Amino acid sequence: MSISESSPAATSLPNGDCGRPRARPGGNRVTVVLGAQWGDEGKGKVVDLLAQDADIVCRCQGGNNAGHTVVVDSVEYDFHLLPSGIINPNVTAFIGNGVVIHLPGLFEEAEKNVQKGKGLDGWEKRLIISDRAHIVFDFHQAADGIQEQQRQEQAGKNLGTTKKGIGPVYSSKAARSGLRMCDLVSDFDGFSERFKVLANQYKSIYPTLEIDIEGELQQLKELTLL
């Protein structure tokens, strides 16, 4: 598994203008798979089919709240965060900067699938994660559960989230207080200080929220060494 640095979105063209270079006719084809019916449309199965002839598979948004099931040689693989196309051994899989990543969940998902069969052999060498992807922390998930409980108590119904912290982490991203993969791998001391600030902000918002700050930091540090 490696972390990729973001590249500039625009380049200087020969005429002096600044813009994105146009693809040449007959160049590589890009296929985009999107769901337009609120989930469970079968995106994972479509991606798995298309990935058979692909060199690169990229996930652009979301987190590990959703799930895709892929069956290969009678073995059922479950994907929540990993791009499901990674099951093709010839594919390089990208997790883009729009995705939010719970690192313990990522490694747990990979390990479970590795134990099921050979479909994910060598996955860590074929996965590239954007350094701008935001990180889901355990307290994001805990806050998600508290929010659901509050909705139930105050309005008599909740949203039915998976309590994976997806909403809270995107809120942190929008508020510019979230932490990214580049923060984690570049300067862990600076990352730790910002993590503590963010954790204490959540504790002030949710007084019943319990956060093992040092324990989670230690876990994240160990995961960066894998």
Do 57 and 93 meet the contact criterion of CB atoms below 8 Å apart? yes
The pLDDT of residue 18 is 47
- Tens of pLDDT, residue by residue over 3-13, are 776 654 444 44
If you count them, how many residues does the chain have?
A: 226
Beta-ladder partners of 76:
71
**For residue 145, what are its two tokens?**
């559960």
Q: Which of 17, 48, 55, 68 is catalytic?
A: 68
- Tens of pLDDT, residue by residue over 175-212, are 999 999 999 999 999 999 999 999 999 999 999 999 99
Q: Which residues make Cβ contacts (< 8 Å) with residue 108, sequence separation at least 6? A: none
- Structural domains of the chain, count: 2
In this predicted structure, the answer to whether residue 173 has a pLDDT above a threshold of 90 is yes
Q: Which of 89, 112, 130 lies at the terminal end of a domain, its last residue?
A: 130
Are 63 and 119 in the same domain?
yes
Are 175 and 206 in the same domain?
yes
Q: What is the CATH number of the domain that holds 41?
A: 3.40.440.10
- Tens of pLDDT, residue by residue over 103-155, are 999 999 999 999 998 888 899 999 999 999 999 999 999 999 999 999 998 88
Kindly provide the b/e burial profile for residues 124-159, where b requires at least 16 CB atoms within 10 angstroms of the residue's own CB: eebbbbbbbbbbbbbbbbbbbbbbbeeeeeeeeeee
How far is residue 148's CA from residue 187's CA, in Å, rounded to a whole number? Answer: 34
The residue ranking higher by pLDDT, 68 or 86, is 86
Q: Give the domain extent around 192.
A: 138-224
Q: Which of 66, 99, 130 lies at the terminal end of a domain, its last residue?
A: 130
Q: Residue 105: count other Cβ atoms within 10 Å of its Cβ.
A: 17
Q: Which of 111, 130, 149 lies at the terminal end of a domain, its last residue?
A: 130
In this predicted structure, the answer to whether residue 23 has a pLDDT above a threshold of 60 is no
**For residue 85, what are its two tokens?**
């196309």
In this predicted structure, the answer to whether residue 20 has a pLDDT above a threshold of 50 is no
40 part of the active site: yes
DSSP 23-43: PPTT----------SSS-SSH
Are 102 and 165 in the same domain?
no
